């Protein structure tokens, strides 16, 4: 009957860690809480991941490898088809994250974990993310630069910085808007994506 039986110990730990990190933060969630939620032995974390810090990095790697791939794939398709606009490029960035959020296997809290990482200002974690996934933001920044040739470099960077903030915050569901009753999770997320693209595109080209 237990759903978790079909997952490996590794996957059970990653899933429980992701949920608890989202809820309590990296320092706030202990390995005992994680292993209890995953219904595995405490020592399994150090056996499979070596340390808590490595577990944290693995929580990101599990989602970000595919998320980055899908984002860049969509972006490349747009450019190849000559369909690149502020709206479609923003869509290429947002939609893969939205699909991840709707993924049955617990992807719905990962964006919250990702936003937590932004708050860790000087830690190894931000360096890890920047080193391993910074190229994604770079490619998107280049696409925006092509679409906004009238903006000088400084002006563009300011706007992209603000746009990343709006996207990060909204996709982590940090805001106060709750899903309306009678509205499915999918509908709610799609509404959010629609407004997010509209708002951010206007801010970028203002």
Partner DNA sequence: CTAGACTTCAAACGATTGTTTGAAAATTCT
Partner DNA sequence: AGAATTTTCAAACAATCGTTTGAAGTCTAG
Q: Which stretch binds its own copies (CB under 8 A): 48-56, 80-88, 95-103, 116-124?
A: 116-124
Residue with tokens 């998107």: 140
Do 59 and 14 touch, CB atoms closer than 8 A?
yes
The DSSP code sequence of 92-103 is HHHHHHHHHHH-
Listed residue (174, 144, 173, 178) closest to 161, CA to CA: 144
Which one of residues 50, 65, 103, 158 is an interface residue with its own copies (CB under 8 A)? 158
The CA angle 131-169-147, to the nearest 5 degrees, is 70
Do 102 and 131 touch, CB atoms closer than 8 A?
no
Positions 33 through 72 that interact with DNA (CB under 7 A): 33, 40-48, 50-53
With CB under 7 A as the rule, give the number of residues binding DNA: 20
* d(C-alpha 55, C-alpha 45), whole Å: 8
Is 190 a binding residue for its own copies by CB under 8 A? The answer is: no
- Window 5-34: contact mask with its own copies (x via CB under 8 A): -----------------xxxxxxx------
Is 203 a binding residue for its own copies by CB under 8 A? The answer is: yes
Is 159 a binding residue for its own copies by CB under 8 A? The answer is: yes
Continuous H helices in 82-152: 86-102, 110-119, 124-147
With CB under 8 A as the rule, give the number of residues binding its own copies: 47
Is 130 a binding residue for DNA by CB under 7 A? The answer is: no
Q: Which stretch binds its own copies (CB under 8 A): 36-44, 71-79, 82-90, 170-178?
A: 170-178
Binder of residue 22, out of its own copies, DNA, none (CB less than 5 to 8 A by kind): its own copies
E strand map for the chain: none
Interface positions with DNA (CB under 7 A): 8-9, 29-33, 40-48, 50-53
């Amino acid at each position: 009957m237990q759903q978790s039986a079909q997952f490996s110990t590794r996957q059970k730990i990653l899933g429980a860690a992701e949920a608890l990190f989202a809820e309590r933060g990296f320092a706030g969630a202990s390995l005992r809480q994680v292993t209890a939620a995953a219904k595995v032995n405490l020592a399994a974390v150090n056996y499979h991941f070596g340390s808590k810090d490595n577990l944290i990095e693995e929580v990101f790697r599990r989602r970000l490898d595919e998320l980055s791939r899908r984002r860049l794939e969509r972006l490349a398709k747009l450019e190849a088809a000559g369909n690149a606009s502020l709206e479609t490029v923003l869509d290429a960035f947002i939609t893969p994250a939205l699909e991840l959020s709707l993924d049955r296997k617990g992807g719905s809290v990962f964006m919250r974990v990702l936003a937590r990482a932004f708050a860790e200002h000087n830690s190894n974690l931000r360096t890890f993310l920047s080193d391993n996934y910074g190229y994604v933001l770079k490619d998107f920044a280049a696409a925006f630069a092509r679409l906004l040739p009238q903006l000088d470099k400084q002006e563009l960077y300011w706007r992209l910085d603000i746009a990343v903030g709006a996207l990060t915050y909204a996709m982590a569901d940090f805001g106060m808007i709750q899903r309306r009753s009678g509205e499915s999770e999918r509908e709610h997320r799609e509404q959010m994506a629609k407004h997010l693209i509209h708002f951010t595109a206007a801010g970028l080209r203002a």
